[in-house]
Amino acid sequence: MGGHNAFLPFHTPDIGEEEIQSVVETLRSGWLTTGSKVKQLEENFAAYTGAPYAVAVNSGTAALHLALEAIAIKPGDEVIVPTMTFTATAEVVLYLNARPVLVDCEPDTLNIDPAQIESKITSKTRAIIPVHMGGHPCNMERILDLARAYNLRVIEDAAHALPAHYGNKMVGTIGDITCFSFYVTKTITTGEGGMATTANPEWSERMRMMSLHGISKDAWKRYSKDGSWYYEVLSPGYKYNLTDIAAAIGIEQLKKCERFREARRRIAETYDKSFAEVPEITTPVIQDDVRHAWHLYIIQLNLERLGIDRNAFITALNEAGIGTSVHFIPLHLHPYYRRVFGYQPKDFPNASDAFARIISLPIFPTMGRMDVQRVISAVKEIALRNRAG
Ligand SMILES: Cc1ncc(COP(=O)(O)O)c(C=O)c1O
């Protein structure tokens, strides 16, 4: 990446000649929208994760929406969602006129706190959407136990969690349906895109059909030699199909997924070692028996030891030429969720407290050793300069 003084962005996608060639080939093929490339990406993704079925769509949000529709979430149903997430996780519940019921996070992993789920379950609860924050899998054993006990479905928001493992299982093969995102900052990208995996053929078929207007099977073939002009609308669906142009990128990205993950893991390891000696900073935890995807590297500031707050810390990093982000502004602090559900900051103390401390540092495969060192030096220098007392 750029010279010593260039701004280091929070993220840059790793796009190689393979992706470029693949897109050019697709453009030249004359078939741009959903077709053989999408089918190939779905097959490769299913093989890679070990999931029996994979349905490609044009965003992670679309995957989540189709998953909830497939399990027949109805108006008035309740769906349990962490407050520490992106709005997509909860907005899809609202698309179906159901109610997202927020739950606080664990202070260390920032994942949904399983101990706080049970008290939120009512006779209307139908599903739980755990979000694997930053790529660290949630406590799926506890969540699946609760789901079994209360007959709930588990739809995993794995937007951050490719490739992650929980015990000996790959994320994508654990809950009822798992939803991935290929948004540009994610661990593999198609520009915009997503994937839903499941072991249930009916849900897979329903998601596939609803991703393309709810029209009968293989409707995307209707302009091809093997297709037919005739189709039937079986349900009022959505326009969520992925293009072959995007899938062409995804096929090449997926081949590099393990290499990308190893590059991010190494950066995380370097950060961990370097920040171990900085008392103003808490580094991310890794629980036993998980394989972290390292989509994000989230530090928490020990504000008690600092003379500045999180925002000032981010400003100082920006002045040092380093891009950062915050994952996330908890849902209960946003105007919409406050206004409609009446949430207060004190309702979710762990998430409210973490929000004041968190900063996501750059972690992406094209970062060079010097880039990583620049981030470390800047963080250390800012911490030292602003040490309290
Ligand atoms: C936790 C989480 N869920 C869902 C999404 C939505 O994915 P997409 O942008 O592909 O719709 C994102 C990010 O974009 C996310 O971070």
**Residue 361 per-residue DSSP state:** E
Would you say residue 177 has pLDDT above 90? yes
* Interatomic CA distance for residues 110 and 96, integer angstroms: 27
**Ligand 1 center to 384 CA (angstroms):** 35
Using the predicted structure, report yes or no on whether residue 230 has a pLDDT greater than 60: yes
Q: What is residue 1's predicted lDDT score, i.e. its pLDDT? A: 46
CA dihedral 206, 209, 213, 215 (to 10 degrees): -120
Percentage of the chain modeled with pLDDT above 70: 98
Ligand 1 pocket test, candidate residues 59, 61, 171, most atoms within 8 A of CB:
61
Residue with the smallest CA separation from ligand 1 atom 8 is 60
- Band (3; pLDDT cuts 50, 70, 90): very low
pLDDT 10s digits, 96-140: 999 999 999 999 999 999 999 999 999 999 999 999 999 999 999
Task: Tell if the pTM clears 0.85, that is, is over it.
Answer: yes
pLDDT above 50 (res 27): yes
Residue reference for tokens 């849902």: 331
Confidence of residue 4 (pLDDT cuts 50, 70, 90): low
Write the DSSP string, 180-202.
Answer: EE-BTTSSS--BS-EEEEES-HH
pLDDT of the residue at 389:
78
Catalytic-residue membership of 186: yes
Average of per-residue pLDDT across 286-312 = 98
Residue 186 has pLDDT above 50, yes or no: yes
Q: What is the pLDDT of residues 187-207, one digit of tens each?
A: 999 999 999 999 999 999 999
> Would you say residue 77 has pLDDT above 80?
yes
Q: What is the mean pLDDT of residues 281-304?
A: 98
Query: How many Cβ atoms are within 10 Å of 30's Cβ, its own excluded?
Result: 6
Query: What is the atom index within ligand 1 of the atom nearest the CA of 181?
Result: 10
Mean pLDDT, residues 77-94 taken together = 98
pLDDT at position 222:
74
198 Cβ below 6 A of ligand 1: no
Buried b (16+ CB within 10 A) or exposed e, 219-237: bbeeeeeeeeeebeeeeeb
